[in-house]
Amino acid sequence: MIGTGNFKEIIMRSQARCLKWKISKQRKFPLRTLKGNELYNHLEINSKLINISRSFMEILYDFLNGSGFSLYLTDKDGFVLSIIGDKDIIKFIAEVGIVEGADMSENSTGTNAIGTAIYENCSVQTSGGDHYITAYYIFTCSAAVIHNEEGSIIGCLNLTGRRQLAHPHSLGLIVAAVKSIENQLKVEKTQNELFIACQYLNKVMNSLNSGIFAVDTTGIIKAINKSACIMLDIKEEEVIYKNAEKVLANWKYILCEIIAGKAYENREINYPYKDKSKKFNFNAYPIKNKDNKIIGIVAIFNDIKSIYSLVNKYTDKNSSYNFHDIIGDSQELTKVIEQSKIIANSPSTVLIQGESGTGKELIAQSIHNNSSRSENSFIAINCGAIPTNLIESELFGYEDGAFTGAKRGGQPGKFELANGGTIFLDEIGEMPFEMQIHLLRVLEVSCFNRVGGNKPINIDVRIVAATNKDLKKEVKKGTFREDLYYRLNVIPIFVPPLRERCGDIDLLIEYFLRAKAIKLGKPIPKISPDIYEMLINYNWPGNVRELENCIENIVNMNGNTSFKFGNVSLEKNETVPSKEVFKYNMCTLEQWDQIAIKNCIKKCNGNITEASKVLGINRSTIYSKIKKHNS
């Protein structure tokens, strides 16, 4: 053995292990040699190690060619994977069974450079009697273990020749070769990780609907995704590694802004597109190296129209009502619903009139949700709730710098956001007179300019307006434009007040009792006869909204109420039974329903058709209730 003093201790420990394992010194061949499919599978498993190591083994052998040495690569367990060397020495060594597949571990071949190096996890050189088996005394071997990046042993490289050729530098050559192999393994791993990361990044970039491209500080486009190419109507090969001015004319200005530490987000830019221009929402962010130095920018942009559609899809939470959500089956309400269904898919303007609290917005939402525009936005705006000086910018938006306090980059208005859908102009009678002319023009030409802008914006919007005012009187008073009134009043719809919806109050009471009990987490309360009688006979000036609030009050107070019925008219609905009819002090809503129907049928001498007219409900409803009560 040639080397430091530590090698003596290593050899002594190994020899002691061989004695303990009762390995025969006269053994000539390794205990095990892999062959056939077993060897093939072993080579497949270690193919990466073999491929990387072979190139360094070949470089090393170029210096050793003809010197009487051969190189052996093994796996972590000591099985020989590959051999390179002089033919005569390879043949000579093969005579003692050291071939591809041979097990060179200490358990198999006693003390030897490969097995001992793997066992001790260090570089080892053995010569002559350092070997345990006497057949190997004629060799000198130098071996170094190969580690992966985590420090685990994955193989061993060994240089073997006749004992007379032993030299300390042999081990140095092997150690250097192993270091090169380990470094290359790290490089290969890094390159593989970079390739995988690049594949992931490309897949992610090309799966996004947003346009993305990256530019270095010299203006060269380094990457661009498919969505960007589609949006800009260009091909990747036309712009990749080309100057960014072909895609983004003001990239130098953007870069200067970012270098100065300014945010460049949510800007609107215009891009020339087929003799027109496209408007994009544009964001740019710095790309920095490990020293925090800006080396480029990444730009992300989206078609403004797509953004508006997406925003409307997720922020419009008020267009959820449909006709089947409207409670009531009175002739008056049924007529309104039937009219609304007929005109739902028309593009014509609708004017919904009715007292406050009658459910005008429910009708508007139901019209929208039953139209071909139902997949697009429903934008509601209360014309009476916006300050006069802001209503124009709220409706039509504004450009960058249009006025003091304007958001940088501009802001779209409600009409722009509603494009392709419906805009609901509630309380249209409260719109400032000077704004009415602007609205009239939009109704006539479907086009407008943002505040502070000069580029016309074309829109396709269905307008549904609502008011609790008599607009004809407002026209006579001079507070509402006559031409706008006639432009809005293409399809007039009148929502009746609750007091005129015969028979709907009891249905609404039943509905709100259940809904409010669920909302408040309380049981449905029993209502005393006198309270129920007042609910039926009260004329509800606040309409459905007032009734809803009253029922919530009753549920909160477990069947009692603090509500003040100021104008009860017992003559209003003669079909409601008086207190003497009831045998019990308290009745459920279902019992009241049963009593009311029976009394009405009795007064109509059993004529169901007449009773349905008096109660304001369909005959089929009466029959189903009778069947339910009798079951």
- Tell me what pLDDT residue 346 has: 94
361 lies in the same domain as 446: yes
Q: Residue 201: inside a domain, yes or no?
A: no
The gap from C-alpha 157 to its chain's centroid, in whole angstroms, comes to 51
* pTM of the entire predicted model: 0.51
Longest dimension (CA), the chain: 131
322 lies in the same domain as 418: yes
Is pLDDT at 312 greater than 80 in this prediction?
A: no
139 lies in the same domain as 214: no
Q: Residue 473: inside a domain, yes or no?
A: yes
Give the residue, 206 or 84, on which the prediction is more confident. 84
What distance, in Å, lies between the first and last C-alpha atoms of the chain?
106
Q: Residue 288: inside a domain, yes or no?
A: yes
> Pairing mode, if any, of strands 221-224 and 350-353?
unpaired
Mean pLDDT (whole number) for 476-483: 94
Mean pLDDT (whole number) for 216-225: 86
Contacts of 68 (CB under 8 A, 6+ apart): 86, 88, 89, 161, 162, 165
Is pLDDT at 274 greater than 70 in this prediction?
A: no
438 lies in the same domain as 451: yes
Which of 471, 496, 521 corresponds to the end of one domain?
Answer: 496
Helix/strand/coil (H/E/C) assignment for every residue in 158-172: EEEEEHHHCCHHHHH
Per-residue pLDDT tens for 62-103? 888 888 899 999 999 999 999 999 888 899 999 999 999 999
Q: Residue 406: inside a domain, yes or no?
A: yes
Give the residue, 604 or 282, on which the prediction is more confident. 282
CA distance 29 to 140: 17
CA distance 413 to 162: 90
- Tell me what pLDDT residue 577 has: 42
**H helices of 358-417, where?**
360-369, 391-396, 414-417
366 lies in the same domain as 431: yes
- Tell me what pLDDT residue 177 has: 93
**What is the residue-wise DSSP string for 555-566?**
HHTTT-------
Domain with 23, as residue range(s), is 5-190
Q: Residue 415: inside a domain, yes or no?
A: yes
Q: How many CB atoms lie within 10 A of CB 599?
A: 16
410 lies in the same domain as 555: no
515 lies in the same domain as 491: no
282 lies in the same domain as 430: no
Is pLDDT at 38 greater than 60 in this prediction?
A: yes
99 lies in the same domain as 116: yes
334 lies in the same domain as 271: no
Q: What is the CATH number of the domain that holds 238?
A: 3.30.450.20
- Tell me what pLDDT residue 352 has: 96
Is pLDDT at 329 greater than 70 in this prediction?
A: yes
For the record, the structure tokens of 298 come out as: 């990444």
Q: What percent of the chain has pLDDT above 70?
A: 88
> Pairing mode, if any, of strands 69-75 and 80-85?
antiparallel
Give residue 588's pLDDT band: very low, low, confident or very high (50, 70, 90).
low
The gap from C-alpha 478 to its chain's centroid, in whole angstroms, comes to 52
Number of domains the chain contains:
4
- Tell me what pLDDT residue 590 has: 67
Mean pLDDT (whole number) for 442-467: 90
- Tell me what pLDDT residue 86 has: 87
For the record, the structure tokens of 409 come out as: 């980059």
Is pLDDT at 419 greater than 50 in this prediction?
A: yes
For the record, the structure tokens of 25 come out as: 């010194």
**Average model confidence (pLDDT) for the chain?**
85
Which of 16-25, 288-297, 500-509 is predicted most confidently? 16-25
- Tell me what pLDDT residue 576 has: 41
Is pLDDT at 3 greater than 50 in this prediction?
A: no
Sheet holding 294-303, edge to edge: 221-224, 211-216, 294-303, 276-288, 264-273
> Phi and psi of 542, rounded to 5°?
-90, 5
- Tell me what pLDDT residue 87 has: 87
Mean pLDDT (whole number) for 322-335: 91
Q: Residue 310: inside a domain, yes or no?
A: no
Q: What is the CATH number of the domain that holds 396?
A: 3.40.50.300
Mean pLDDT (whole number) for 187-193: 84
Lowest mean pLDDT among 7-11, 175-179, 281-285, 370-374: 281-285
153 lies in the same domain as 171: yes
Q: What is the CATH number of the domain that holds 28?
A: 3.30.450.40
> Phi and psi of 33, rounded to 5°?
-135, 125
Q: Residue 309: inside a domain, yes or no?
A: no
Amino acid code (one letter) for 362: L
Mean pLDDT (whole number) for 255-282: 74
Q: What is the CATH number of the domain that holds 541?
A: 1.10.8.60
> Count of residues for the chain?
631
Which of 158, 190, 222 corresponds to the end of one domain?
Answer: 190
SS3 448: strand
- Burial (0-12, 13-18, 19+ Cβ within 10 Å), 194: exposed
For the record, the structure tokens of 216 come out as: 């270095």
**What is the residue-wise DSSP string for 43-95?**
HHHTHHHHHHHHHHHHHHHHHHTTSSEEEEEEETT-BEEEEEE-HHHHHHHHT
Per-residue pLDDT tens for 121-142? 999 999 999 999 999 999 999 9
Q: Residue 196: inside a domain, yes or no?
A: no
Which of 449, 471, 496 corresponds to the end of one domain?
Answer: 496
39 lies in the same domain as 151: yes
Is pLDDT at 571 greater than 50 in this prediction?
A: no
